[in-house]
Structure 1
Amino acid sequence: MVELKIRKFGNSLGVVLPKEVIARLNTGEGTPLYLTETGDGGYRLAPYDPDFAAKMTKAEDIMRRYRDTLHVLAK
């Protein structure tokens, strides 16, 4: 586990990621990262994955089109 501290940057708040975290995420300055909520209420930070983004776009479209059906199935 890596402890991070929230810091003030101008009028904003941010987190500085240590070099080890940047290397493990295989990312760098200006590269997008995604913070997603996990099922247990935690969060996951992951680098941008174009394949995953395309799959999520398609999944969101399907969920939108079949919203009523999915709602009935969820009961």
Structure 2
Amino acid sequence: MNENSSSKDLKGDSTVLQVRKIGNSIGVILPKELAARLNLKEGDKLFPVEQSGGGLVLTPYDPDFEKAMEVARRGMKRYHNALAELAK
């Protein structure tokens, strides 16, 4: 599912999610159909990303991991020659 089609599908969806008490926490239950459409299964992890307008995006991609990978890519590019020598 690409990003454009999924956002179009969800914009037309009139599903309302309710926050509920689950044990000592609160949570949101996703309807079965929505979970299937998003290919989510029990145990999958979603990462909340707060938006500047006060919204929230749930993503399966860890934003901290993405930041760390960007730093690693810059380091590998900067030290390419030294890393190539060490790999010999």
Counterpart in the other structure of 1:29: 42
Of Structure 1 and Structure 2, the greater strand share is in: 1
Is it true that 1:46 corresponds to 2:62 in the alignment?
A: no
1:25 deviates by 2.2
Higher relative contact order (CA 8 A, sep 6+): 1
Alignment CA distance shift 1:25-1:56 (3 Å)? farther
> Which protein has the larger Cα radius of gyration, Structure 1 or Structure 2?
2
TM-score normalised to structure 1 length: 0.58
Q: TM-score, normalised by structure 2?
A: 0.51
Structure richer in helix, relative to its length: 2
Deviation at 1:53, TM superposition (A): 5.6
> In 2, distance between residues paired with 1:48 and 1:55?
8
Tell me the C-alpha RMSD between the 2 structures: 2.8
Query: Would the aligned equivalents of 1:35 and 1:43 in 2 still touch at CA under 8 Å?
Result: yes
Task: For structure 2, list consecutive stretches of 5 or more residues without a partner in the other structure.
Answer: 1-13, 76-88
Identity of aligned residues (%): 43
